[in-house]
Amino acid sequence: MCGIVGYIGENPSKEFIIDGLKKLEYRGYDSAGIMLYTDKAYLKKAKGKIYNLENKLSEKKLNNAKIGIGHTRWATHGIPSFSNSHPHKSNSGDLYIVHNGIIENYESIKEILIKKGYKFYSDTDTEVLINLIEEVKKVNKVKLGKALKIALNSVIGAFAIAVFDIKNPHEIVVAKLGSPLAIGIENKNFYIGSDPSPFLNFTKRCLYLNDNEMAILSMKKGLILRNFITDSVINQKVENLKFEIEQVEKGGYKHFMLKEIFEQPKNIIDAIRGRILDDYKIKFSSIESHIDKFKNANRLIFISCGTSWHASLLGEYYFEELARIPAGVEYASEFRYRNPIINENDVIIPVSQSGETADTLAAIKLAKQFNPFLFGICNVVGSSISRETDSGVYIHAGPEIGVASTKAFTCQSLIMLMLSLDIGYRLGKVNDEKYKQIITEIKKLSRYAKKVLEEFDNIKKIAKKYKNAKNFLYLGRGYNFPIALEGALKLKEISYIHAEGYPAAEMKHGPIALIDKNMPVVVIATKKGSYHKIVSNVMEIKARGGKVIAVVTKGDTEIKKIADDIIEIPDVEELVAPIIANIPLQLLSYYIADFKKCEIDQPRNLAKSVTVE
Ligand code: F6R
């Protein structure tokens, strides 16, 4: 939540910061602001999207600024407004800050500062932090870096910050705890971003700050990295980033979400690459070296949120079926506050696209007290969750920019299937024939995904027909139940239509009361499993006048006769089917939202990575 960008170096900074903020808009878009420094500090802010801010930057002088910090906000403390927008400045007007995160003890600090005569012009925790830094700097008569170090030791919360002092305009100081921060380095130019996408065009050399680290980016002394708790200097581990700028651009598609949906055949290949060997064997080195942890596991506990929770639920089904290990899925936000029973023979599997979700990170920290084996499934390489876990796998979906998760879900689900199959085979729970059969299907998955995407015209027509519905129900059984949940979440997120996902058989225990001619019901009714039970559920809906949109296996005749609209997917193996069946539901949500002219990539009130509780 919230994106920060900054630059100090030899080149003009305005354009870089504005473009960078646009790349980070997925992290929040309630308001935006920038501080540019030339002969003095110029502070500009605007409510809403970045283009509102851009319209305020015509002054010529701003083009010369070689130092600047910028922010795109997802409101936590205080409504989206001009005064709550970042950057915030200190009372003296010397210090400027942009902040992603939350300072939990800001109220007590604010009280102390008010007693000392400080005035506050916003409702934010960030304005408190910058004035605390100012107070520490004044009392201790120290420079910004030192003041920051002292101040950060007295705040509780999460932050990624960039701070600038007009009294020493040769440096920007950044620090991180809990929220992500990346620094791009190219000769004497330092780029700052909540992720590297703002600076990929300029440099691939990137330093990810770890928790409790701060860096002074100095035009005179270069980069100095320190731990702000121990005050020790740290060796810099600069990485060469592998991804390209095209991966974070729209590439001709109307929205990132649409691009990401159509990218899935390629993402599937990337997720599989190097993990299925020519002799039809799965190879995850992280499983090979930790197979005993799974063999001796009491149970597997998936912890995650939102879409990642849905992929985890599918993971539970896969692991129980193929590896025969008891498994359960937990909402990270519940787990962390529930005093859960964990023992050291449990394997905890945090699942996260961003790898930065605050609740999932907090659940990991809680679990660590009991010393279980922590095996992460993440997309973002080097993210906090990937570093907080003992081992794990990356899903290799590439950068996901659209706020609604699509390709990450597909790759998470695929990785769940491959991991459970690998472990099940190693533990002797899956025989050779089944092992080969599923691998053969996984190898065809990319082609299946392509086939489903070719159905887009049909799905678009269905979307047009139902775009004005006020409520939707999504039903699925077995492996398709998580898909019903995910389909409903996608629709409500981007089209603001109320939608509920339900296990199909549970319908008669309540939701059936909702069904009438105005209630479209999306039924995922692929062959095998509980197909015939689902046919009965469809009958029950039709008998009450409901409209049925059914996702069926190609060649289906039974449901075709009774459903109002049909989306066909290829005839695939039962365990692979949910991964494929989800794709048309992504398209259905997308087209409905597009017909309704919704802001698809940046739905209201949402942000891509939820780094606050
Ligand atoms: C839905 C969506 C969210 C995320 C959730 C967890 O489309 O994107 O529900 O899945 O916020 O995020 P990660 O996976 O980054 O931990």
Confidence band for 30, pLDDT divided at 50, 70 and 90: confident
Q: What is the pLDDT of residue 595?
A: 97
Q: Which of 335, 360, 386, 405 to mutate to test the pocket of ligand 1 (most atoms within 8 A of CB)?
A: 405
Is residue 493 within 6 Å of ligand 1 at its C-beta?
Answer: yes
Please name the residue whose Cα sits nearest to atom 9 of ligand 1: 306
The ligand 1 atom at the shortest distance from the C-alpha of residue 610 is 11
pLDDT digits (tens, 9 = 90+) for 336-380: 888 899 999 999 999 999 998 989 999 999 999 999 999 999 998
Q: What is the mean pLDDT of residues 506-515?
A: 87
pLDDT of residue 97: 98
Cα gap 67→80, rounded to integer Å: 26
412 lines ligand 1 (CB under 6 A): no
The answer to whether the CB of 308 is under 6 A from ligand 1 is: yes
Give me the pLDDT at residue 605, please: 77
Identical fold at 250-443 and 453-613?
yes
List Cβ neighbours of 574 (8 Å cut-off, separation of 6 or more).
479, 526, 527, 528, 529
Q: What is the pTM of this model?
A: 0.79
Q: Which two tokens stand for residue 136?
A: 């520490």
312-317, long-range: CB < 8 A, 24+ apart: 312/349, 312/351, 312/412, 312/416, 313/481, 313/482, 313/485, 314/413, 314/416, 314/479, 314/482, 314/483, 314/578, 315/349, 315/351, 315/412, 315/413, 315/416, 315/419, 315/420, 317/478, 317/479, 317/482
Q: Which top CATH class is 453-613?
A: alpha beta
- Rounded-to-integer distance, Cα 581 and Cα 475, Å: 12
| CB-based burial label for 525 (10 Å; 0-12, 13-18, 19+) | buried
Domain locations in the chain?
3-246, 250-443, 453-613
Query: If pLDDT is split at 50, 70 and 90, which confidence band does 608 have?
Result: low
The H or E element spanning position 97 is strand 95-103
Is 90 exceeded by the pLDDT of residue 81?
A: no
| pLDDT tens readout for residues 433-474 | 999 999 999 999 999 999 999 999 999 999 999 999 999 999
Catalytic residue among 2, 206, 305, 598: 2
Q: Which residues on adjacent β-strands are paired with residue 502?
A: 475
What value does the mean pLDDT take over residues 58-68?
Answer: 92
Q: How far is CA 419 from CA 138, 281, 344, 396, 586, in A?
A: 56, 12, 21, 14, 24
Mean pLDDT of 79-105: 91
DSSP state of 178: B
- The fold adopted by the segment(s) 250-443 is Rossmann fold (3.40.50)
CATH class of 3-246: alpha beta
2 catalytic residue (yes or no): yes
**Interval between CA 304 and ligand 1 midpoint (Å):** 8
Per-residue pLDDT band at 101 (split at 50, 70, 90): confident
DSSP state, residue 527: S
Indicate which atom in ligand 1 lies nearest the CA of residue 380. Answer: 15
Annotated catalytic residue, options 22, 110, 451, 608:
608
Question: Given the structure tokens 């997917």, which residue do they identify?
Answer: 569
Query: Tokens 């950068």 label which residue?
Result: 399
Lowest mean pLDDT among 37-51, 65-79, 404-418: 65-79
Q: Is the pLDDT of residue 533 over 90?
A: no
- pLDDT per residue over 120-179, tens digit each? 999 999 999 999 999 999 999 999 999 999 999 999 988 999 999 999 999 999 999 988
pLDDT tens digits along 468-506: 999 999 999 999 999 999 999 999 999 999 999 999 989
Q: How far is the CA of 351 from the centre of ligand 1 (A)?
A: 10
HSE (side-chain half, CA atoms, 13 Å) at 519 = 20
**Mean pLDDT, range 210-238, rounded to an integer:** 93
pLDDT band at 1 (very low <50, low <70, confident <90, very high): low
Task: Pick the atom of ligand 1 nearest to 406's CA.
Answer: 7
Query: Is the CB of 594 within 6 Å of ligand 1?
Result: no
327: amino acid identity, one letter: A
Token pair listed for 132: 């605390």
- Asked if residue 609 has pLDDT above 80, the reply is no
* Mean pLDDT value of segment 305-332: 97
> 378: alpha, beta or left, given left = phi > 0 and alpha = psi -120 to 50?
beta
Confidence of residue 381 (pLDDT cuts 50, 70, 90): confident
Q: Is the CB of 352 under 6 A from ligand 1?
A: yes
Q: Identify the CA nearest to 334 among candidates 354, 363, 357, 293.
A: 363
pLDDT at 178: 82
Is the Cβ atom of 582 under 6 angstroms away from ligand 1?
no
Average pLDDT score over residue span 58-83 = 87
pLDDT in tens, 232-262: 999 888 988 877 766 777 878 999 999 999 9
pLDDT at site 611: 67
CA nearest ligand 1 atom 5, residue = 306
φ, ψ of residue 546 to 5 degrees: the values are: -70, 160
- Decide if 608 is catalytic: yes
How many angstroms does the Cα of residue 611 sit away from the middle of ligand 1? 11
* Ligand 1 binding pocket mutation candidate from 302, 357, 486 (most atoms within 8 A of CB): 357
pLDDT of residue 498: 96
Mean pLDDT of all residues belonging to the chain: 93
